[in-house]
Amino acid sequence: MAADSESGRRAAVLGSPIAHSLSPVLHRAAYEELGLRDWTYDRFEIDEAALPGFIGELGSAWAGLSLTMPLKRAIIPLLDEVSETAASVEAVNTVVFGPDGSRRGDNTDIPGMVAALRERGIEQVESAAILGAGATASSALAALSRICTGEVVAYVRSEARAAEMRQWGERLGVEVRTEAWDDAREALSAPLVIATTPAGTTDALSSVVPERPATLFDVLYDPWPTALAARWSAYGGAVVSGLDLLVHQAVLQVEQMTGRASAPLGVMRKAGEQALAGR
């Protein structure tokens, strides 16, 4: 399964489930545009139990790996080095192999979020709201630590999750206040709202979008648009999608794995859009 190709370099995305991943589409589009004809990018269904064995079998042709759930934390003990960004949220989504076979872990989700917002003109906000409290919410907090000058309010379903978000805030240097999910409609008046919840969770909020919404960053991309994003856009608010995040974090992965200074953002986004349209 993990055998090396005859020539060229290899990369892949690992996770479970993995069949839905757009990463192969994005990375292969980048390789084509960059002229890396002998590079390949695959996907492998790998869970936490299978991860050490898979990693141990990889040979010198491997350039890097993308990691999705549930492997972002499980990979850490198998690495030689972890970037400060990845360590800040205890989550690695990118592994780059050195010439000597060393394994360095990084997190491109966090700078990917910042880049996706910057592309829409969001350089700094005075406050923000987060819907949800899972792994993506901690990455959102880390991104906000770079651009938010004031308070972040997290809307969560349990006190246990609330405590986790406050702990992440302390760790990341972000002022976090938590509120009950039942009051989530109050989040929608924030200068920046980041929705990190599973599909369908925020649908009910679409009926209470304010008349002049600011910016919504909804990390979902399939199906798209979500009910919340559609109403937000209809009311004239700015919307950043999960595809924007996926493309920006993949750009950073391609640059790290290939050593190229500039991955083709536009080409990768178009490939992702076409793949989603065909589903």
DSSP 37: T
Q: Give which of 12, 229, 247, 256 is closest to 112, Cα–Cα.
A: 247
How do strand 103-106 and strand 94-97 relate by DSSP bridges?
A: antiparallel
Task: Take residue 247 and report the two structure tokens written for it.
Answer: 């493309």
* Close Cβ partners of 199 (under 8 Å, ≥ 6 residues apart): 220, 223, 226
- Among the listed residues 72, 103, 161, 166, the single catalytic one is 72
Q: Measure CA of the first residue to CA of the last residue in the chain; give whole Å.
A: 27
d(CA 277, CA 279): 6
Q: Is 270 a catalytic residue?
A: no
Spatial strand order in the sheet of 94-97: 40-45, 10-15, 62-67, 94-97, 103-106, 81-82
Active site residues: 72
